[in-house]
Structure 1
Amino acid sequence: MLNEIQYLISLDRPPFEKGKIIILKRSNGYETHWSYVSGEEESLETLYSGPELERAWLAAEATRQARCRDGFRLQTPHITFYLSAIPKPFLTVRKLECFCSKHHDANLFQELREWRRTASNAAKVPPYFIGTDRLLSIIAALVPQKEEELLQIPGIGQTKLDSYGQEILKITNKYPQIYSFPLDWIQRKVSEEELATWLLEDKIKREERHQVRMKQELEEKRQMLEAIEDQISIGNILDKMSLTMVQFLKRIRELSRDGYDVLPYLQQEVERIKEKDQIVDLVSSLGNERLKPIFEKLYGSMEELPRDEKGEKYNHIRLVCTYLQIQSAA
């Protein structure tokens, strides 16, 4: 039974050949088809049929690339559809992202990613707070050499320039600058067809990454359920699965929402925390939206405390808060 069309694009090859790549969602899985029309001749080729959406997308993308190499071109409705969703003020930014994704220096991009990892650890913020992969790709393509060039890059304002500008320039100054500033040439360099195709490819890649993440999360949940059943301590689970406490507790809350009884295991782990009663009382009076007030009431500011020890105490508070949340929802 056909539930919906997941994906459809039309291609043509003058003077009279036309084709469509289609992904269908059915009750038992997915199908990818290539529909071809030449004159009065019409054929339908099944490229994939099975339970995995990821493989259906891969079959569609491989076919699109192969047909374009054979001279087929995406039809205008495809371009109009993908560009219509972009507000005009952002069209230049999307063209810039498109160009830089294809022309960045791979070595510089990797060096920027390594710098970002160090900077995010030092600032105790997620890496994307420092800069997304897309922003690093733009920097690695345009290779700014001075502050005024950095400020022309979307995503870098004065605050980010003040915080990280000199560190970024210290890296980019080691590489040659191929493309010029200002960046008004981008509008002419990237055609609407190229942009629309890139947006479609980016959508497929994001869907593939989403599918990979879903599989990883399912595997993590399976491992966690086995570990909980075997009464393995949280510390050992974190080491075995290479998780942080925040990631572990997120998975625990998901398991609880899915109907798994994780309370007995959490209660057992909470009982090992000697300050658990004080934490419970403070959560009752202060709430659990912010952990710092609870921490300071328990331990003071403790600015001189080693990072690992401070992190462990915060994790105790996180664990108790999660236990109380799940308990109240039960």
Structure 2
Amino acid sequence: MQIVFMNRLSRMSGADQEGLAQLWIGEEEGTWRLGWRDFSGSEETGDSLWYEGGSWNEMLCVYRHELAVKMGDGYRPLIDGAFHDEDSQSGSRNQEQLKLQYFSEQHGNESVYEELCSWRRGKASIERKAPYILASNRLLRMLSAFLPRTLEELLQIPGVGEGKASQYGEDWLGITSAAEREHSFPLGWVHEAVDEEHFVSWQYKQKELKYKKQLERLRLRRVLLQGIEEGLGIEQLKAASGVSRREVLEAVEELEKDGYSVEKLIALELAEVSSSEQAGVWTAYELMGDTFLKPVLFKAYGEGFSPAEGLDVYYERLRLIRIRYRRGQSAKLEGATNL
């Protein structure tokens, strides 16, 4: 086996005892291997194989996730840039914002946070928008921790721009201003209030979660592509992947966007749906657009449509037909561009 990458890491494990480890990537006849080796002084105390397979992308996801776990545990690499990705947390402004996020997760006012979440649910229902579009959990956490009382203070919270402030600022301030606070604005004091070592470990925990999601997504895609090729339906793909039918459909939509063929699955799932019903949905997309499913549903099936079997099966049909519709629109656009 040819070693193509190696890095040494160290960790202070108490009483001035330094723990050492080695991370390596090797390749042999198209098979990638990723491993971790622990040392105690000059003696090896453990060796574990993290990955063995033919996918460079999957191996790289495993590498980043497992390395983030180790660095969250206190290991630090001899060679910087150990993650080999485009994500950089070295910018001073980015570091300041991350520290505000970290502090808010440790010191948020839970009752204020719950009140903000309640506001978001109600507002999202009124505006018919997904709650995260109004405000992310991260933003609500920061609002609950720093408790701005004025528009000027509100605009110092990362994620709040002039647009969000004008739309929802009055509502937010009505909630945050009512709570007592022990700190002041501006928020430069947060830098000194944060324990640096705990903050660094928290950063690696964020990386761990990020790379875990990437790895799960990559493995899900592999299972779905193999299943679609074998002629499996959504219910079978759900069983094979261990995710919900909705998550299967969302991943299938991503596969289509990335250029993979999912037509075999669509044809299988829509085989029992009449051509007239499919044509009605297609027309509804032409009239209502393809961004939101609810208006298309009622346009295709009628206002107040409420079948005894529930709406889930119809929303699945809409999503599958939307894949075809978007594919057709892209083909038209490409054809027009080539004229």
Normalised to the residue count of structure 2, the TM-score between the two structures is: 0.61
Question: 1:38-82 deviations in whole A, cap 9, x for unaligned?
Answer: xxx32333364344979987876666566x5xxxx8589769999
Question: 1:252-292 deviations in whole A, cap 9, x for unaligned?
Answer: 83799256723532552553543717946985xx9x97569
- In the alignment, structure 2 segments of 5+ residues that lack a partner are 53-58, 237-242, 332-339
In structure 2, distance between residues paired with 1:102 and 1:11: 25
In structure 2, distance between residues paired with 1:85 and 1:136: 22
User: 2:268 aligns to what?
Assistant: 265
Q: What letter corresponds to residue 49 of structure 2 in structure 1?
A: S
In structure 1, distance between residues paired with 2:263 and 2:48: 36
Q: What letter corresponds to residue 143 of structure 1 in structure 2?
A: L
Q: How does 1:166-205 map to 2 (within 5 A)?
A: 166-173=170-177, 175-190=179-194, 195-205=199-209
User: 1:142 aligns to what?
Assistant: 146
Q: Could you tell me whether the CA contact under 8 Å between 1:245 and 1:315 is conserved in 2?
A: no
Q: Could you tell me whether the CA contact under 8 Å between 1:8 and 1:21 is conserved in 2?
A: yes
User: 2:324 aligns to what?
Assistant: 323
Q: CA RMSD in A?
A: 5.4
In structure 2, distance between residues paired with 1:127 and 1:97: 20
In structure 2, distance between residues paired with 1:61 and 1:17: 22
Residue 169 of structure 1, CA deviation: 3.4
In structure 2, distance between residues paired with 1:19 and 1:220: 41
Q: Could you tell me whether the CA contact under 8 Å between 2:113 and 2:141 is conserved in 1?
A: yes
User: 2:277 aligns to what?
Assistant: 274
Q: How does 1:102-251 map to 2 (within 5 A)?
A: 102-106=106-110, 108-173=112-177, 175-190=179-194, 195-214=199-218, 226-227=232-233, 241=244, 243=246, 247=250, 250=253
Q: Could you tell me whether the CA contact under 8 Å between 1:48 and 1:56 is conserved in 2?
A: no
User: 2:56 aligns to what?
Assistant: none
User: 2:334 aligns to what?
Assistant: none
Residue 229 of structure 1, CA deviation: 8.4
| Residues 291 and 120 of structure 1: CA distance in aligned 2, closer, same or farther (over 3 Å) | closer
Does the residue aligned with 2:49 lie in a helix, a strand or coil? strand
Q: Could you tell me whether the CA contact under 8 Å between 1:103 and 1:141 is conserved in 2?
A: yes
Does the residue aligned with 1:86 lie in a helix, a strand or coil? coil
The alignment-based identity, stated in percent, is: 19
Q: Could you tell me whether the CA contact under 8 Å between 2:100 and 2:142 is conserved in 1?
A: yes
| Residues 25 and 162 of structure 1: CA distance in aligned 2, closer, same or farther (over 3 Å) | same
Q: Could you tell me whether the CA contact under 8 Å between 1:270 and 1:320 is conserved in 2?
A: no
Residue 250 of structure 1, CA deviation: 1.4
In structure 2, distance between residues paired with 1:24 and 1:80: 11
Residue 153 of structure 1, CA deviation: 0.6
In structure 2, distance between residues paired with 1:200 and 1:177: 30
The number of aligned residues is: 302
Residue 159 of structure 1, CA deviation: 1.7
- In the alignment, structure 1 segments of 5+ residues that lack a partner are 231-239
